[in-house]
Amino acid sequence: MSFMFWFLAINVSAINYTEAKIAGEAAVQHFFIGTYTDNGSEGIYRCGLETITGKLKGLDLVAKSDNPSFLAFTKNGNYLLAVNETIDVKGNKMGYIESFSVSPNRDKVTPVNKVSSGGAHPCYVSVNAEGYVLAANYTGGSVALFKIDDNGKLSPPVDVKQHHGGGPNKERQEGPHVHSAFFEPGGDRIFVADLGTDAISVYHIDKNKSQLVPATFPEIKLTPGSGPRHLAFLPKKNILYVVSELANTVTAISLNKNGSYTSIETVSAIPGDNKKPNTCADIHISKNGRFLYVSNRGLNTIAIFAIDQESGKLKIIAQESTRGENPRNFTLSPDENYLLVANQTTQNIVAFKRDKNTGKLTYSDQIQAHEPVCLLFQK
């Protein structure tokens, strides 16, 4: 072999190795994990999903935090928000929202500030492109509004709306329990699910006063005792889906052009012959609007529905075991080739390969994690 040929061969090998390394790194999508910290967890963790193999790799603590049970990114991904469901030394139920800056390569987070959530036990946080932040205070029964500035600093609550009332389930609906708060995609409304009052409250933001004001049609009532928990919007269609924790159902609601609402249908997320106690938790829709997924705690499955593209009605097509107990939040990977689910009780995160044509799931891998309850892919 001539020196020149040997030199070229070595350099080609080096280039191929570099390209393979880059490709390997690009083939890992990282996500953050919100946890409860009373069983070994120290806060927020980061893990990787290999997009070719579907394997989960690495589990690193990125921020110490007290019960960061739900997470959200700002639109640019530069800041990570977390709720804190806490109790003080006297046993008083409290709540905070924390802000963290995210490093440019997205592998480290640094605390910015922490403010009161405006109520007890916040369980959901969301943020829009304009820098408004919403917190759902479950035990406190309120929704709070904040602002976040360009440096990731959260304001104290600029407005808090206290809900009132209850439902027929005396153990779970003795009062209001705000479980989630969503900004309407492409719109200016806010939809707030209240498990305790069986209603979706609808608000606008008065930007001059930085206050939440009731919408023209301020409430969507659901079946008494159903316990609405989380919401999902059908892309490019004015249809809202509500998963109800206590009734184990999904309700499709038409968002009419005049601002009113019309119920389309309500379907069960569990089989009719199910004998296990069950509560529904999370709900997500694929970006193309063809499939809807719901997590079942007790039955311990992901219910998979096909969405009729004309009517928005649902057809159950599968129940996939979560390979663990008490599945809370779950998420689709950015390319939607995978679905990941957090099983709180068995303390494992499970990855499934997703068939985009059928919507069905195939087990891929799992990893142990202390009380995982929220999964959020980084931007």
Q: Are strands 159-162 and 178-183 parallel, antiparallel or unpaired?
A: unpaired
DSSP H or E segment with residue 36 = none
Contact 200, 191 (CB under 8 A): yes
In angstroms, rounded to a whole number, what is the distance separating the alpha carbons of residues 32 and 181?
20
| Whole-number Cα distances in Å, 352 to 160, 214, 271, 337, 360 | 39, 40, 21, 9, 9
* CB neighbour burial string for 142-155, b if at least 16 within 10 angstroms, e if fewer: bbbbbbbeeebebe
What pLDDT is recorded for position 49?
A: 98
In angstroms, rounded to a whole number, what is the distance separating the alpha carbons of residues 126 and 138?
15
- Whole-model pTM: value is 0.92
State both tokens at 168.
């027929």
What pLDDT is recorded for position 161?
A: 98
What pLDDT is recorded for position 172?
A: 98
What pLDDT is recorded for position 20?
A: 34
What pLDDT is recorded for position 89?
A: 61
Low-confidence residues of the chain, pLDDT below 50?
A: 1-25
The pLDDT tens digits for 98-149 are 999 999 989 899 999 999 999 999 999 999 999 999 999 999 999 999 999 9
In angstroms, rounded to a whole number, what is the distance separating the alpha carbons of residues 292 and 315?
10
What pLDDT is recorded for position 301?
A: 98
